[in-house]
Amino acid sequence: MVSVRKLASVLSKELMYQGYTASRISGLRPMNIERAVKMSRINKIILSVLMGFYVGLMGAIPYALKRPSVSLIETLTGSFFIIFSSLLNVTFSLQQIDNVRSLLVTLPIEPRLIRLISMLSLFMMMDTPIYVSIAVSVLLSIIMGGIPYPLLGTLQGVSLGVILAAGFILIAEKASGAIRGFSRITAVIPIMIAVIILGYAININPSQLNPILSLMPVTSGLFINGLNTAFYLTIIYTVAFIIAAYLMLQRVGNEILEYTVQFQVVKASGFKGFKIRNPLMALIRVDLIQSFRSRMAGIWAIPVSYWVVIVFTVVTGGVRLSPALLLTYVIELSAIMAFIPYTLYLSELRGAIAFRLLPITPLRNLASKLLVTLIAYYVAMMPISVLILVYKLPINLQVPVVLAFGLPMAAAGAMANLFELSMREGSASSILIMILYALVIMIIEGLPTAALIITHMMIGGYVIPSFIMFLISMVEFLIMLVVLTRLSKRH
């Protein structure tokens, strides 16, 4: 008799390893297998700590502000954010795990059990973070007493994270051409919305909201005042989300692990000869193709959605545009743009070994990423530049708009080093790189930003503080270049 749980547990360890090293898609082999195996499991612990911390902190703040029901929204968006992004990230690395698929087919197990094992193994990749967040939310609910808002929020957030991530994965696997491309780009929107809600939810005053929201999923919890309709609805929604998450996880498990025969698309016609380009342009072109054809494509939607939010709130009069606010937008957007090189480098993971067999130096590679980031940065900054003119703000505000490019530039240098180090080790954990990169960005972007704010407060104006900010980011970039040049000498 097959022990479903045991097999699923073994399988989940293999999936975690594959997800961590991404070796199936990169073609590289970790230099230290034992360490890679260990790190693939530590990854889960890091995620658990992060999630427990998020749920605990974000769930407790509303109680301190005497808005306990908001705790539901905070824990919901916090746990949703981590589960959704991690699940998408993990499955990105799980493409081409034919070894697992083939193994399952050769085992004497009924298809029904294979489906169960697939679902369980996928769940086991995320189980500890989920258990930790639920445990923290239960503890917080007990300590705070009354309606268990943190628990309800966490259960809903985790379930919704699974449902939506599963939805995007299924579309990406099943749908054809345009829909698949659209789903890749829009996959990042739920993350954006979650981050925005996470920031703004603390200001929500349930008594000022439209009562119709008391009947809606997610928001119904805000209206719980004892055992009323909203309470029962929230319970019903929570249970419904959990069931839906279970069913979706089952479908995704099948999709990733079930052995399917792929048919080849043969297009004999349409060959009009080859086109050879300048090496840098060729590199940029392939970077863009790879990023748009991967699940990382969603990053490109972030700056667009960001300025849609800015323009919408400013134009509709929801926000009064001041120089200080505009400067905040510039800094935030340049921080967001730091994720463009991150995306471009991670897209290169697919077939990384092919890149290593070509005369591409890490410096030339960085140059192509910088050029794309530069163009994307100024395109993304254009609406802000226009807002300065339209709203007749001081024209010298254009200086930080132009010079804040130094921030993503320094960040790109840091990412180039992280990527090079990761490749030298022969493994690349997208989650670990993401966490490390987030930490590095905090420092690399934090220093010039702090310099900008401090000098602006000390001497006023925008021109000199912007130049100081630019100067510091250039120093950071140069340091990154020196490190990269040293790493470039392969041995």
Binding site for another protein (CB under 8 A): 25, 27-35, 96, 262, 264-268, 270-271, 273-279, 281-283, 285-286, 289-290, 293-294, 350-351, 353-354, 356-361, 424, 426, 490-491
The conformational region for residue 243 under phi > 0 = left, psi -120 to 50 = alpha, else beta, is alpha
d(CA 391, CA 55): 40
Q: How near is the Cβ of 412 to another protein at its closest, in Å?
A: 19
Q: How near is the Cβ of 433 to another protein at its closest, in Å?
A: 19
Give the nearer residue to another protein in terms of CB position, either 27 or 323: 27
Give the nearer residue to another protein in terms of CB position, either 28 or 166: 28
Give the nearer residue to another protein in terms of CB position, either 328 or 361: 361
How many H-runs (helices) and E-runs (strands) does the chain carry?
A: 21, 0
Give the nearer residue to another protein in terms of CB position, either 1 or 268: 268
375 residue type, one letter: I
Q: How far is CA 233 from CA 66, 80, 230, in A?
A: 23, 20, 5
The conformational region for residue 317 under phi > 0 = left, psi -120 to 50 = alpha, else beta, is left
Q: How near is the Cβ of 380 to another protein at its closest, in Å?
A: 24
d(CA 93, CA 413): 24
Give the nearer residue to another protein in terms of CB position, either 212 or 357: 357
Q: How near is the Cβ of 104 to another protein at its closest, in Å?
A: 19
Packing angle of the helix pair 339-347, 362-390 (nearest 10 deg): 140
Give the nearer residue to another protein in terms of CB position, either 336 or 340: 340
Task: Please answer whether residues 283 and 365 qualify as being in contact, where contact means their C-beta atoms are separated by less than 8 angstroms.
Answer: yes
Q: How far is CA 259 from CA 23, 171, 174, 262, in A?
A: 20, 18, 14, 9
Q: How near is the Cβ of 270 to another protein at its closest, in Å?
A: 6
Give the nearer residue to another protein in terms of CB position, either 243 or 281: 281
Secondary structure element (H or E) that encloses residue 244, with its range: helix 229-257
d(CA 313, CA 196): 13
Residue 319's Cβ-side half-sphere holds a number of Cα atoms within 13 Å equal to 17
Give the nearer residue to another protein in terms of CB position, either 181 or 323: 181
Q: How near is the Cβ of 472 to another protein at its closest, in Å?
A: 31
Pull the structure tokens for residue 224: 């719980």
Give the nearer residue to another protein in terms of CB position, either 147 or 169: 169
Q: How near is the Cβ of 286 to another protein at its closest, in Å?
A: 5
Pull the structure tokens for residue 329: 């937008």
The conformational region for residue 27 under phi > 0 = left, psi -120 to 50 = alpha, else beta, is left
Q: How near is the Cβ of 420 to another protein at its closest, in Å?
A: 12
Q: How near is the Cβ of 483 to another protein at its closest, in Å?
A: 18
d(CA 381, CA 398): 10
Residue labelled with tokens 């069913």: 247
